[in-house]
Amino acid sequence: GHLSVEGLIHEIDSFPASLVGPGTFMFTPINDDAPSSEVCLLSIFVHPAIRLKVMTILTALVDNHHSDSDINLTISTEPYSLLRVRGTSSTATVADVLSFNWMDI
């Protein structure tokens, strides 16, 4: 399983001031057999307008802590779209709009 949360990104050591913008953080376990493992893949999705600033912040954080951790930073600039539908009938609504056929699964 994945854990996806929304949050705000700030400049380094400036919380609660110096807001950069919102982000969606998705945590994915590296080893599906051990979901409680401390090792995970963290994907951060941000608006293209703040992408360069967030990349600068992440690079600085990794550079500052690289000597005492096993952090690997990979930057992807692939465009993604985020569709958020909420409510009790959200799955049925998306299926109707996309003409999704449940039998194809």
- pLDDT attached to residue 38: 67
Taking phi over 0 as left and psi of -120 to 50 as alpha, with beta for the rest, 21 belongs to: left
Q: Are strands 3-10 and 40-46 parallel, antiparallel or unpaired?
A: unpaired
Q: Is the pTM of this model over 0.85?
A: no
Digit-coded pLDDT (tens) for 49-83: 898 899 899 888 877 765 656 666 677 777 777 66
- pLDDT attached to residue 87: 77
Measure CA of the first residue to CA of the last residue in the chain; give whole Å. 19
Sheet strands side by side (includes 19-29): 3-10, 19-29, 40-46
Digit-coded pLDDT (tens) for 75-104: 777 777 766 777 777 777 777 777 766 566
